[in-house]
């Protein structure tokens, strides 16, 4: 793939590649409204807005049709799912399976003569998402308006080039998806090892083991948010800062925002090192947990548990993953959705002998490091895809050796 000599033709809008044309979206794609009413008998994969990640063109989980009510839409393998509810941004996914989805998601399918893969990346482009947002209707929960969007004109290459653009971008997404699957499997294996070594040990602790509490064994830190009114705390910041919404990410490889060194000194925010286990302690994200893959600070709805001399991230992270529901239920009683730093510090914590921990780390550390490397590779590949996407879609970059 490279820039090549491109012949242009003049249009009323301006010069475009000579074999491309401007077409209304309504000529390219149709919305599928194959309505389905879930039953308690037939179980199908279900995708709601909560299952589609923002920005990443991926999902975080899949629901079940037997757990939902009211009308839903059928989708087929390869259909385009586009979250139309604002202010959700770029919730776009292309499933490789059959199922149902929320009616707050468009199910889009290419018309004859147009490539479904290319259209998926059109829907995923920043320009498309911005147009969808600009035409949103409603006040309380604005929704993208298809009648507005279908008349927007888009630059469309011939079908051969559509397919080649799709192949280039899909190859990156396939590698991203493979890395995600590898990470899921590695996480399951590491979690299984942890449970076998430290959870399924019977009612009595082996000799040399002890029961303590988190606060006695490890340092915990509550985050903070520098004042938004002080521009000097946020403008040109260089210190990573994470909000509680990021804690639902598998691993944290980049911050939500950056704050300044002054903000770090004069606010409750604290910079903690890579390898810190973080957990959300209030609101909709209560009980979410993750692992910092970068040095970062975070807001007051997050607690960080820092590695100790012998108790490392490979133990702390999987201890929290295994016991987080017990911690929440013990403190909230299922009602008040909040836990605090004292709740975390006072939570029971099993401490194995150092020789046992050493053997455990030898078994699990390579998996944890592989997960980390894969996460950063996913980040690099995603950035490359998102850089190429608008250039390929607009014809700024063409594919060398086009097969006409």
Of 214 and 10, the one with more pLDDT: 214
Strands 45-47 and 63-64: antiparallel
Confidence of residue 197 (pLDDT cuts 50, 70, 90): very high
Q: What is the pLDDT of residue 396?
A: 86
Same fold, 21-156 and 210-351: yes
Q: What is the pLDDT of residues 331-355, one digit of tens each?
A: 655 555 789 999 999 999 999 999 9
Evaluate the omega torsion of the peptide bond into residue 87 and state whether it is cis, within 30 degrees of 0. Answer: yes
Name the band, by pLDDT with cuts 50, 70 and 90, for residue 403: very low
Q: Supply angle C-alpha 14, 16, 21, rounded to 5.
A: 105
Give the pLDDT confidence of 204-243 residue by residue, as tens digits: 899 999 999 999 999 999 999 999 999 999 999 999 999 9
* CATH 2.130.10.30 for domain 210-351: no
Q: At 220, which helix (H) or strand (E)?
A: strand 220-222
Q: In sequence order, what are the residues at sequence separation of 6 or more whose Cβ sits closer than 8 angstroms to the Cβ of residue 21?
A: 155, 156
pLDDT in tens, 291-305: 999 999 999 999 999
List the beta bridge partners of residue 75.
99
Would you state the pLDDT for residue 332?
A: 56
The answer to whether 231 and 268 are in contact (CB under 8 A) is: no
Q: How many angstroms separate the Cα of 180 from the Cα of each of 50, 252, 374?
A: 18, 14, 8
Quote the pTM value: 0.88
Q: Which residues contact 317 (CB under 8 A, 6 or more apart)?
A: 277, 289, 291, 368
Q: In the predicted model, is pLDDT for residue 277 greater than 70?
A: yes
Estimate to the nearest angstrom the gap between the alpha carbon of 4 and the chain centroid.
Answer: 35
Judged by average pLDDT, the poorest of 115-119, 126-130, 166-170, 336-340 is 336-340
Q: Kindly list the domain boundaries of the chain, sorted by start residue.
A: 21-156, 210-351
Consecutive H or E run containing 194: helix 159-194
Q: Which CATH architecture has domain 21-156?
A: Alpha-Beta Complex (3.90)
d(CA 152, CA 251): 38
């Amino acid at each position: 793939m490279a820039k090549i000599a491109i012949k242009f033709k003049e249009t009323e809008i301006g010069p475009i590649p000579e074999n491309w044309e401007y077409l209304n979206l309504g000529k390219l794609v149709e919305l599928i409204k194959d309505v389905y009413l879930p039953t308690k008998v037939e179980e199908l994969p279900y995708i709601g807005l909560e299952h589609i990640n923002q920005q990443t063109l991926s999902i975080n989980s899949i629901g079940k049709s037997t757990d939902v009510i009211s009308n839903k839409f059928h989708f087929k393998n390869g259909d385009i799912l586009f979250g139309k509810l604002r202010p959700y941004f770029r919730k776009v996914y292309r499933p490789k399976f059959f199922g149902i989805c929320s009616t707050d998601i468009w199910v889009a399918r290419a018309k004859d003569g147009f490539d479904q893969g290319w259209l998926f990346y059109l829907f995923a482009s920043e320009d498309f998402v911005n147009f969808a947002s600009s035409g949103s209707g409603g006040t309380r929960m604005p929704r993208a308006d298809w009648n507005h969007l279908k008349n927007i004109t888009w630059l469309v290459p011939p079908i051969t080039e559509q397919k080649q653009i799709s192949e280039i971008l899909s190859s990156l997404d396939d590698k991203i998806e493979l890395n995600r699957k590898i990470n899921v499997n590695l996480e399951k294996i590491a979690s299984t090892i942890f449970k076998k070594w430290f959870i399924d040990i019977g009612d009595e602790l082996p000799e040399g083991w002890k029961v303590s509490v988190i606060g006695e064994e490890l340092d915990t830190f509550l985050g903070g948010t520098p004042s938004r009114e002080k521009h000097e705390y946020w403008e040109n910041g260089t210190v990573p800062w994470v909000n509680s919404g990021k804690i639902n990410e598998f691993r944290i490889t980049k911050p939500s925002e950056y704050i300044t060194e002054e903000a770090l000194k004069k606010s409750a925010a604290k910079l903690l090192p890579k390898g810190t286990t973080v957990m959300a302690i209030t609101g909709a994200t209560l009980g979410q947990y993750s692992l910092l893959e970068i040095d970062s600070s975070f807001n007051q709805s997050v607690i960080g548990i820092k590695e100790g001399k012998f108790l490392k991230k490979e133990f702390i992270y999987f201890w929290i993953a295994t016991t987080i529901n017990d911690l929440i239920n013990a403190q909230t009683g299922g009602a008040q959705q909040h836990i605090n730093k004292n709740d975390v510090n006072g939570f029971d914590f099993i401490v194995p002998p150092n020789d046992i921990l050493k053997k455990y780390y030898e078994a699990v550390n390579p998996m944890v490091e592989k997960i980390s490397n894969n996460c950063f590779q996913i980040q690099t590949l995603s950035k490359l895809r998102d850089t190429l996407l608008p250039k390929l879609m607009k014809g700024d970059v063409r594919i060398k050796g086009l097969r006409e």
